Amino acid sequence: MRKTTVLVVFIICLFLCSNEVKAYSPHYLPGGDNYLSEDNFHLEGEYFLSIESFLVKPFTEYILSISRSYYENENVEVIIELYNNLELNDTINLSFDDFSSLSDYNAFYHVFSTDSDTNYMAIKFHTDRGYFSSGSPKLQDFMLEEGSSYDGYEEYLEGSLIDITAPYFQNAGTVISYVDTPISINEIKSALNAYDAIDGDVSAAITLVSDNYTPNINTLGEYDATFAVSDSSGNETEIVIQIVVVDAVKPVFSPQETIKAVFPSAYSPEAIRMMLSASDNYDGDISMDIELVSDEYTPNKNQIGVYEMVFGVEDSSGNWTETTINVEVVDETAPIITGTDSISVGYDYLIVPTIVKQGLSVIDDYDGDLSDSLSLVFDDYTENSGTLGNHQMRFSVTDSSGNESTKTVTITVIDEIGPLVYFDMAVIQVYNDMVLSLGDVAVLLKATGELSTVEKYRFYVNYDSYTGHASIPGIYHLLLNIEPESQPAYEKNFEIRVINRTAKLIIDNPKPGIVDDSFWAKLKKAAPICSLSVLLVLSNAIWLILTKKKRLIR
């Protein structure tokens, strides 16, 4: 009898234990699909809401379904609150238009996702028409489950296991490390977050398992590091982080001042490129990789001005940078004045500046012919044209770049050498009504100091195109072989310019006060002959008179 009683008591206790009602806990995940337990909801004012926020999964897609009856008979408003433990992170407000119909079921639905910081959720259902005031169960056809598809209503089931899920990492994507300012492995570890469904934030428990990154921290490439985390139940998760070491810093050009290109010299684009230098924080000197991007200079290299050239360079990581170089084309060469250096002229003839200027020409490497721009800047000849000796006329010219040149012409005033002018000891200008003899040439050379006045000379004509054409205006040549008595012989080549007497290409009108030689000069030349004739006549007359007297005496 006693054994039978003990057996009955044991069976009753076993039955009671097997049928013990489990208490709801918001900190457990559901045992089934549905997260909504009526034990965690109550009516408060116009809202049927969760008493406590309940555990959910981060980074998870959820579908919330509501009954058709609620949708059609209430002013639909649903508020979803997302928490990180006790801290509210976000709120989702849903209204009538945010729900879609499930045609195969007696419900409407809305899909949303939790973010990385969400581990608890609370829900409020608005009611101003008494939907939740009566009837049971009040959450019939209301369901929150994981995923995005609905396959019918299920009642809430109490979770039977406390924690069999390992923690999970958040924000654990690829890490970018810049080679010039690399991130350390500890900084990467500190940036990782890990959560557990039961323990919550377990980031402090993260440990480094392996590290292929640190030995290559200064080398471009992709490397991995493995981290692990465990919860209080010993569940462990590992994650492999990809770390990409990159170079995001652009190369740098050395400063370059304006490049001066002196006309007519010009630089090639390659020559200018070779003047530049560039470096990169990772690749080092990359000057040889510099490229020409645009060029305003080359097509304008013969035009004075400032032009831009753009150069660029790229490092091995694809970072591109450009620099703009100014090239200034300048003209620093002064014009060149050529022509007469010296003029010999008799004291009784005046040569004017305009005529001297005609014997000069100017060429500039940039502006071309500037002969018309010559100007007289100094003249001590005109006021002293009657004074024997050397005098000067100085001419000046300036090009468009401000480069100036001057030329001085020496004018030697000598005693009368006849109606001719002697240029640069090589060019004789004479009128066509006179013939220049060798004697005249000798006198000219002695007057200008080319021949000594005490030396004896012999003159031989090697070539003469002048004498036979002395009366015809033109340019001729006379080549003489001159033999000094005490020195070696040498050749002298003259250019003889024959001009009309009326032409005034070199000699202007005779100076005021000088009598024209058309009459007085001829009289001057005839005076000795006339005197001799008069003396001859007088002597003959006296001789006749004396002879007559003698005859008379006899």
The predicted structure's pLDDT at residue 237: 87
Q: Please report where in the chains the tokens 């398992």 appear, as a residue.
A: 209
**376: pLDDT strictly greater than 70:** yes
The reply to whether 326 and 340 lie within a common domain is: no
The reply to whether 231 and 301 lie within a common domain is: no
**361: pLDDT strictly greater than 90:** yes
Q: Which of 273, 298, 330 is the last residue of a domain?
A: 330
The predicted structure's pLDDT at residue 275: 95
pLDDT tens digits, one per residue of 263-283: 999 999 999 999 999 999 999
Higher-scoring residue by pLDDT: 358, 197: 358
The reply to whether 133 and 78 lie within a common domain is: yes
The predicted structure's pLDDT at residue 419: 67
Confirm if 109 and 144 have CB atoms less than 8 A apart.
no
Q: CA torsion angle for 452, 458, 463, 464 (degrees, to 10)?
A: 80
**511: pLDDT strictly greater than 70:** no
* Mean pLDDT of the 6-33 span: 56
Going by pLDDT thresholds of 50, 70 and 90, the confidence category of residue 507 is very low
What are the residues facing 497 on neighbouring strands? 429, 475
Q: What percent of the chain has pLDDT over 70?
A: 83
Confirm if 26 and 52 have CB atoms less than 8 A apart.
yes
Q: Please report where in the chains the tokens 């977050």 appear, as a residue.
A: 193
Contacts of 17 (CB under 8 A, 6+ apart): none
The predicted structure's pLDDT at residue 209: 94
* 3-class state of residue 150 by DSSP: coil
The reply to whether 472 and 491 lie within a common domain is: yes
CATH number at residue 226: 2.60.40.10
* Mean pLDDT of the 23-46 span: 90
**Which domain covers residue 131, as residue numbers?**
38-146
Confirm if 255 and 276 have CB atoms less than 8 A apart.
no
What is the C-alpha separation between 539 and 552, in angstroms, rounded? 20
The reply to whether 51 and 129 lie within a common domain is: yes
The predicted structure's pLDDT at residue 537: 43
pLDDT tens digits, one per residue of 79-111: 999 998 889 999 999 999 999 998 888 899 999
Q: Give 472-492 as a 3 state SS string.
A: CCEEEEEEEEEEECCCCCEEE
Q: Is the dihedral of CA 538, 539, 541, 546 positive or negative?
A: positive
Higher-scoring residue by pLDDT: 353, 161: 353
Alpha helices (H) in 90-172, listed in sequence order:
none
- Which letter does DSSP use for residue 469 in this model? G
The predicted structure's pLDDT at residue 554: 38
The predicted structure's pLDDT at residue 552: 36
Going by pLDDT thresholds of 50, 70 and 90, the confidence category of residue 168 is low
pLDDT tens digits, one per residue of 36-55: 999 999 999 999 999 999 99
The reply to whether 42 and 139 lie within a common domain is: yes
The predicted structure's pLDDT at residue 535: 46
Calculate the CA 480 to chain-centre distance.
66
The predicted structure's pLDDT at residue 505: 41
Q: Which of 451, 479, 499 is the last residue of a domain?
A: 499
The reply to whether 185 and 104 lie within a common domain is: no
Going by pLDDT thresholds of 50, 70 and 90, the confidence category of residue 164 is very low
In a domain, 420, yes or no: no
Confirm if 25 and 40 have CB atoms less than 8 A apart.
no
The reply to whether 213 and 235 lie within a common domain is: yes
**327: pLDDT strictly greater than 90:** yes
Mean of the per-residue pLDDT values for the chain?
83
Amino acid code (one letter) for 311: F
The predicted structure's pLDDT at residue 106: 84
CATH number at residue 139: 2.60.120
The reply to whether 45 and 136 lie within a common domain is: yes
**Is 202 exposed, middle or buried, given 0-12, 13-18 or 19+ CB atoms closer than 10 A?**
buried
What is the C-alpha separation between 384 and 73, in angstroms, rounded? 128
Alpha helices (H) in 24-124, listed in sequence order:
68-73
pTM of the model: 0.51
pLDDT tens digits, one per residue of 53-69: 999 988 899 999 999 99
Higher-scoring residue by pLDDT: 540, 382: 382
The reply to whether 389 and 373 lie within a common domain is: yes
The reply to whether 322 and 340 lie within a common domain is: no
**380: pLDDT strictly greater than 50:** yes
Confirm if 286 and 315 have CB atoms less than 8 A apart.
yes
The predicted structure's pLDDT at residue 322: 96
Task: Kindly state the tokens that stand for 23.
Answer: 């208490």
Domain tally, the chain:
5
In a domain, 158, yes or no: no
Higher-scoring residue by pLDDT: 190, 503: 190
Going by pLDDT thresholds of 50, 70 and 90, the confidence category of residue 166 is low
The reply to whether 136 and 187 lie within a common domain is: no
The predicted structure's pLDDT at residue 113: 94
Contacts of 332 (CB under 8 A, 6+ apart): 262, 263, 401, 403
* Mean pLDDT of the 426-450 span: 86
Nearest CA among 437, 426, 436, 439 for reference residue 499? 436
In a domain, 23, yes or no: no
